[in-house]
Structure 1
Amino acid sequence: MEKKQISEVAKLANLSERLLVYKTMISTSYAFIVWSISFTVAALATWSTIFGPWFPTFVKAFNWVLTAALGSAGVVGMFLMFYIFSRTAPLKAKQLDMKPVARWVFSFVFPYGFAYIVAFLVGIETVISVAWYVALAGTMLHIAALVENEYVKKGLFVARPFFLAGVLMMITSPLVLFTALVRNTATYTIEGVGHWSSEVAYLSANMLALTLMLAIYFVASLYTFFKAEGAMIRHETQSQ
């Protein structure tokens, strides 16, 4: 009887651990969706504003408005993703451990700071407008090294979605930068404004970057979800 009780307790403890892993992985899957949506909404809102009734106001600062919007989206996305993680057991505690917070913030601040410093030194505005994509690739890899690895070591992660996303974004970054460097000028005739010329790369490179980000994050989100499901299925199989 005692052996049976011990076995049941062990199964319950194992189930509890699996549920914790499942919860952590599902929250990670949601985090990728939240991040991609925040960036896409910021970009689309900016473009709709710039090319809307307020065009004469924003036309002279087109690139800077777009860069500011995407930068703001990055900051908002960072806090939203961290909030999602803070709702999971690994970070949820009465006294917040500042180490994960510091690692999380550093993973965003350093790649973005470095990418934009280099972009401004290069001095090509179309490249500056897509620096966020390269910075985001670096952010994903930093999170993989500083945060994700800790989760894997503790058994809270059964996948490496941040590493996957970072590698895929880093591989596709040259394509985005190449698109940003293609110098084609489009001339628009705007009623009440006259003729306005702009590099096509502002739109084409950023649309490509957003498309790649959405596709990669979709893959990372599904990958994380299926790995979480797989962990639960393995537990059920082992319990039978």
Structure 2
Amino acid sequence: MKTPAGLLREVVRVAEEMREALDLADLAERLRAYKASLAYSYCFTTWASLMVGFPLAFTALMFSPWLPAMSEAWHVLLVATLGTGMALAFVLTYYVLARLGATDLLGARWVSVAWSLSFALPYAIAYGFLAAINAWSYAPVAWYPAGGVAFVSVGLTVERALVRRRFLLARPFLFAGASALLASAPVLYLASLPVPCEYRLLPPGAPTAWSWEAGSLSAMLLAGALNLIICFAAAIYTLLTAERVVFGHGAR
């Protein structure tokens, strides 16, 4: 039979083991939250790279010596380029989150539904509206305010739930979405300016390679630049707060 001193040592040992087990479980939760913060930081880099890279590649082709070979179909190529960029940006951004386990943190089916609808509906409504009123001069930039609405929607649903569970300390989607909507005002205004422009290839007197509106072209480039800046800021904001999840007031 153990002495009182032996029983006390046993109780102390068990208490220490329980405390270590609780600390380990808490650390595991913190690391999951840290991983989620990193995933959200990466997804902004993925989104901006694809959403801006494809239009920039198309713009480079517009001013390239290869333009005459596609001069009859450049409008179709524009729509195809923007559509491909949007589709890949959505799929790969979600893939990054899923691959790093950020989509499983809440353990609910509504997360994938909310994510899908948050992106699908704004873009479908935006381009459906342009088709209905035949305002295709806004087509090169309609993705920008639509993306802002999508980000805000994710911020008010999935992101909000993650913050409540302390898996996220930042609100990057809400920040990026609100910033994009505010920045959409000068983009849409620039796209509305009916200033025609033409592009000709040498030699002098050669036929016009293409004609467009300078406002739409400039607005597309401005939207891309603002998208890069805002997504960069959101990614850095999320990355800088990720450390607090482990070493500060993180998930519990």
Q: TM-score, normalised by structure 2?
A: 0.84
Letter in 1 for 2:26: N
In structure 1, the residue matched to 2:137 is: 126
Spell out, residue by residue over 1:122-157, the C-alpha distance to the aligned partner (whole angstroms, 9 max, x if none).
423321221110111111112112321222233222
1:73 aligns with 2:71: no
Q: Which residue of 2 aligns with 1:89?
A: 101
> What's the CA shift for 1:235?
5.8
- Structure 2 residue aligned with 1:221, among 235, 243, 246? 235
Among residues 199, 204, 219, which one is paired with 1:188 in the alignment?
199
Counterpart AA for 1:75: A
CA contact (8 A) 1:63 1:129 kept: no
Please state whether the residue corresponding to 2:139 is helix, strand or coil. helix
The answer to whether the 8 Å contact 2:190/2:216 transfers is no
Higher mean Cα deviation, 38-47 or 207-216?
A: 38-47
| Residues 124-163 of structure 1 mapped to structure 2, 5 A cutoff | 124-163=135-174
Q: What is the alpha-carbon distance in structure 2 between the residues aligned to residue 78 and residue 202 of structure 1? A: 24
**Equivalent residues of 2:40, 2:235 under 8 A apart:** yes
CA pair 28-232 structure 1, distance change in 2 beyond 3 A: same
Partners of 1:90 and 1:127 lie apart in 2 by 34
Identical-residue share of aligned pairs (%): 30
Question: Structure 1 residue 38 and structure 2 residue 50: aligned?
Answer: yes
The amino acid that maps onto 1:19 is L
Partner of 2:113 in structure 1?
A: 102
* CA deviation profile, 1:10-68 (whole Å, cap 9, x unmatched): 22121111111100000110000011111122112212223324412433444442233
| Deviation sequence 1:163-193 (CA, Å, 0-9, x none) | 1111000111111100101122223222486
The alignment covers a number of residue pairs equal to 234
Residues in 1 aligned to 2:156 and 2:80: alpha-carbon distance in whole angstroms: 28
What RMSD, in angstroms, separates the aligned Cα atoms of the two structures?
A: 2.3
2:44 corresponds to 1:17: no
- Residue 20 (structure 2) aligns with: 8
Alignment partner of 2:168: what SS? coil
Asked if the contact 2:39–2:97 (Cα under 8 Å) also holds between the matched residues in 1, the reply is yes
Q: CA contact under 8 A between 1:36 and 1:214: conserved in structure 2?
A: yes
Which residue in the other structure is 2:59 paired with? Answer: 47
Q: Are 1:212 and 2:206 matched, yes or no?
A: no
| Amino acid in structure 2 at the alignment position of 1:44 | L
Give the 4+ runs in structure 1 shifted more than 4 A: none
CA distance in 2, matches of 1:64, 1:212: 25
Larger Rg: 2
Aligned to 1:197: 211
136-145 vs 113-122, which deviates more?
113-122
CA contact (8 A) 1:29 1:221 kept: yes
Structure 2 residue runs without a partner (length 5+) = 1-11
* Equivalent-residue separation in structure 1 for 2:167 and 2:125 (angstroms): 31
Unaligned runs of 5+ in 1: none
Deviation of 1:103 (Å): 1.9
- Tell me how far apart the structure 1 counterparts of residues 114 and 166 of structure 2 sit (CA, whole Å): 19
CA contact (8 A) 1:144 1:163 kept: yes
